[in-house]
Amino acid sequence: MSDSTDQLVLNQRRNLPLRATPATCAGKTYIVTGANVGLGFEAAKHLVALGAGRVILAVRNLAAGEAAKKMIEQATGGTGVVEVWHLDLSRFDSVKAFAGRAVAELARIDAIVENAAVARTDSVRAEGRLQGMTVNVVSTFLLAVLLGEKMRESAKKVGAMVRVVIVTSRLGFTMKEEWTEIWEQPLVGIEEDERLYAQCYALSKLMEIFAVKHLATLLPVERTGVVFNLVCPGLCKTELIRNTSPDRRAEITKLYERAGRTAEDGSRTLLHGAVAGKESHGCLLHSCELDESDVPSWVTDEAGKTMQQRMWEAIAKELELIQPGCVEEMLAL
């Protein structure tokens, strides 16, 4: 890692405030992806403890999800709230099936916390792309787009804002040089340069940031009732690094020991995103605060806005191939 990244981690706050409260969560319905371990598990546990009416653990491994459900119920005493649904973001058919079920079975959606991600340094692929691109970028946005109408309907039905929380990372801001090489065709460019495979996670997080910032301009909260925000949970002691190279794992493990947040502490940032106001639309949140000052100017200046649009359009093109008409339908909300 670079010196600047190392310093960012060493300076990160811990013992974060819990912005979500029973008043903001009671009776509401939440979807948390990647909820059987780490940040997603801890966020789901908090939501149950705060009186949520329905918490969907969206997981790839149903057995692991059921084990997580049991632990949450034992820890909180809350029963009849947690449900385990299958979602494999490495398979587009699974994303479509999950979204279809949510539309059919959920009376409302108050927030979807898109926490699931993979961090790899190799060439493993899913749906024809590097797995990190498929899971962290394409499927993450596919899920949000397929649930777009349902979320708008929910906001109108309950008379309150609905949130889409994209869990990202400020690590993406260290990728300026690599991004410059691929920004004209981002989803294609990374596939064509094996040197970038080891940076797939960080680049995927930068892509999320660019895309959400442009998408937010296309879907104003005043029209849709839906807030899209970006949450960086910081460096947290989770299983995210399990598929990285031994050298990378050793490097990050040392940082864990020096300054890593616990998964419970980091999960508080996800909860903040799930209750943040309309001022967070298209913006970066970290350490349970809205802080756009951490977004470098090259991401938000005029050239940056061009890159934001290019990134969103690249994703939208992919989504239209997967589910024809889905983007047009969402943008018409």
205 is catalytic: yes
CA distances from 66 to 37, 227, 250, 304 (A): 11, 30, 31, 43
What angle, 0 to 180 degrees and rounded to 10, lies between the N-to-C axes of helices 38-49 and 263-275?
60
Q: Strands, DSSP E only, in 197-318?
A: 226-232, 284-286, 289-290
> Taking the alpha carbons of 206, 133, 6, 13 in that order, is the dihedral positive or negative?
positive
* Half-sphere exposure at residue 23, Cβ-oriented, CA atoms within 13 angstroms: 2
Q: Do strands 29-33 and 82-86 pair parallel, antiparallel, or not at all (unpaired)?
A: unpaired
β-pair partners for 229: 165
Catalytic residue chosen out of the listed positions 45, 69, 205, 213: 205
256 is catalytic: no
- Which position among 45, 150, 201, 213 bears the catalytic label? 201
Per residue in 23-44, is it b (16+ CB within 10 Å) or e — as a string? eebeebbbbbbbbbbbbbbbbb
Considering only CA atoms, which of 282, 144, 273, 276 is closest in space to residue 213?
Answer: 282
Name residue 328's amino acid: E
Tokens of residue 192, six digits:
């064509």
What gap in Å lies between CA 189 and CA 194, rounded to an integer? 10
Cα–Cα separations (whole angstroms), residue 88 to 97, 185, 243, 299 = 10, 26, 17, 30
Angle at which helices 3-10 and 246-259 cross, to 10°: 40
As annotated, the active-site residues are 201, 205
